[in-house]
């Protein structure tokens, strides 16, 4: 449905009109790993990465419709220090994988696109896989079919009958672990322990391979010290922890140490921050501001306007696949607007059905979930988690 809809929106000029009306909004795109999934590798993560070819194609298309600027310049515009230019975009990379330099940087240089990479400094200082990469590898190499895994107070039954089903099981583990209200370090310890048990069972682990693994290797201090135009680096905490699930003292330590390390390695001020896993709250936002960061990006979908909170900037994932029309509709923010409208209309329908009696006469509102969700964040964000389309044309 999305592919023909995107084509129709573009062909009828509605996309052009939407972009004209929203030309003063800033687009911030986000990418995680960049790797060629058609090449032969020792393994391939379940979590989707964007291929270098797709990144190259997508940036070539977007450069015809947006002017890419460094994050510093974009923040100046949003803060009112500089005039807001029409159709402006920023590119960001999360997690600080080495493939951001080995595979993405040549494309950025060729297309003259600046970008900011958000780095978890502790993994640079003490190289090790992120817990999600370690667990991903362990799940793929152990016999886990039918295994019941306790996580976050729940039990997840693993299905390894296909790669897609194993991916769903992996997602279920992550979702249950993150849903539990606890110190984020406790969550990480639980998932690291699960990965360790699976590694013992299979006799295989990612850590010994990581230094040369193109999927999971982390940037080194030398990578950060080398001239890296058009890249700049920002903080992603020390240990990739969700700030809203940490004690304030730990939050301040994660923010300050990461900032200090990055400034030492790069020789530049570290002024920008990215909340790991979207772990943000009012308290976390205030802590980021108090530690001297000028702006921070979230995982909340959307575009940004002059006057928006610089510590809560919204982003849109650069789709790993999709047609040109789909890419432009998504980058414009029109897709999110349509999905949110659809969800609100559904909510209105739910409220209407629940406030009518069996004979069709008006009844009393039940005050239930629909009334609570109407117009709320859960309603507006729900559609954005749906899978993205495939195939760039």
Check the CA dihedral 340-342-348-351 and report its sign. negative
The two tokens of residue 105 are: 């940087």
Q: Which residues of the chain have pLDDT under 50?
A: 364-393
What pairing do the DSSP bridges indicate for beta strands 148-151 and 154-157? antiparallel
Residue 316: the pLDDT is 96
Structure confidence by residue, pLDDT tens digits, 126-180 = 999 999 999 999 999 999 999 999 999 999 999 999 999 999 999 999 999 999 9
Residue-level pLDDT at 347: 83
The first and second tokens of residue 51, run together, are: 């291929």
Angle between helices 163-179 and 184-202 (to 10 degrees): 150
> H-helix or E-strand containing 334?
helix 334-354
CA geometry: angle 275, 276, 281, nearest 5 deg:
50
Which residue is listed with tokens 């308290």?
283
The 3-class SS string of 318-330 reads CCCCCCHHHHHHH
pLDDT at 343: 87
The upper half-sphere exposure of residue 255, i.e. CA atoms within 13 Å in the direction of its Cβ, equals: 28
Say if residues 322 and 388 touch (Cβ distance below 8 Å).
Answer: yes
* Dist CA 173 CA 195 (whole Å): 12
**CA pair distance 88, 175, nearest whole angstrom:** 34
Q: What is the pLDDT of residue 374?
A: 30
Q: Check if the beta carbon of residue 331 is closer than 8 Å to that of residue 62.
A: yes
Helices (H), 203-297: 221-225, 248-266, 282-290
Which residue, among 316, 308, 311, has the nearest Cα to 333 in the 3D structure? 316
pLDDT given at position 181: 94
Which residues fall within 8 angstroms of residue 316, CB to CB, at 6 or more apart? Answer: 27, 28, 29, 30, 301, 302, 303, 330, 331, 333, 336
Side-chain-side CA neighbours of residue 286 (13 Å): 4
Question: Does pTM surpass 0.95?
Answer: no
């Amino acid at each position: 449905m999305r592919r023909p809809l995107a084509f129709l929106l573009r062909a009828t000029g509605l996309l052009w009109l939407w972009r004209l009306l929203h030309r003063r909004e800033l687009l911030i795109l986000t990418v995680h790993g960049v790797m060629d999934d058609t090449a032969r590798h020792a393994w391939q993560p379940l979590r989707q990465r964007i291929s270098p070819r797709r990144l190259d194609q997508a940036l070539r298309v977007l450069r015809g419709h947006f002017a890419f600027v460094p994050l510093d310049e974009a923040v100046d515009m949003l803060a009112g220090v500089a005039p807001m230019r029409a159709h402006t975009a920023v590119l960001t990379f999360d997690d600080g994988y080495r493939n951001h330099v080995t595979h993405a940087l040549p494309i950025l240089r060729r297309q003259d696109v600046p970008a900011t990479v958000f780095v978890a400094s502790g993994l640079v200082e003490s190289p090790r896989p992120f817990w999600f990469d370690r667990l991903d590898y362990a799940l793929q190499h152990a016999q886990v079919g039918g295994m019941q895994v306790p996580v976050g107070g729940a039990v997840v039954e693993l299905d390894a009958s296909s790669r897609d089903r194993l991916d769903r099981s992996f997602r279920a583990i992550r979702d249950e672990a993150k849903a539990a209200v606890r110190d984020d370090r406790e969550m990480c310890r639980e998932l690291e322990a699960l990965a360790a048990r699976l590694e013992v069972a299979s006799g295989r682990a990612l850590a010994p391979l990581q230094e040369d693994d193109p999927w999971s290797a982390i940037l080194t201090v030398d990578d950060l010290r080398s001239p890296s135009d058009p890249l700049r680096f920002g903080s992603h905490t020390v240990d990739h922890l969700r700030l809203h699930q940490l004690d304030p003292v730990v939050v301040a330590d994660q923010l300050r140490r990461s900032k200090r390390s990055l400034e030492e390695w790069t020789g530049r001020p570290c002024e920008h921050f990215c909340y790991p896993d979207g772990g943000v709250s009012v308290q976390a936002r205030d802590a980021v501001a108090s530690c001297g960061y000028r702006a921070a990006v979230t995982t909340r979908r959307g575009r940004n306007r002059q006057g928006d909170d610089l510590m809560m900037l919204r982003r849109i994932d650069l789709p790993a696949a999709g047609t040109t029309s789909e890419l432009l509709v998504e980058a414009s923010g029109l897709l999110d607007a349509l999905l949110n409208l659809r969800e609100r209309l559904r909510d209105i329908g739910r409220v209407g059905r629940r406030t009518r009696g069996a004979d069709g006469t008006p009844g009393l509102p039940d005050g239930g979930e629909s009334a609570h969700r109407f117009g709320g964040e859960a309603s507006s964000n729900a559609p954005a988690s749906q899978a993205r389309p495939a195939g760039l044309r």
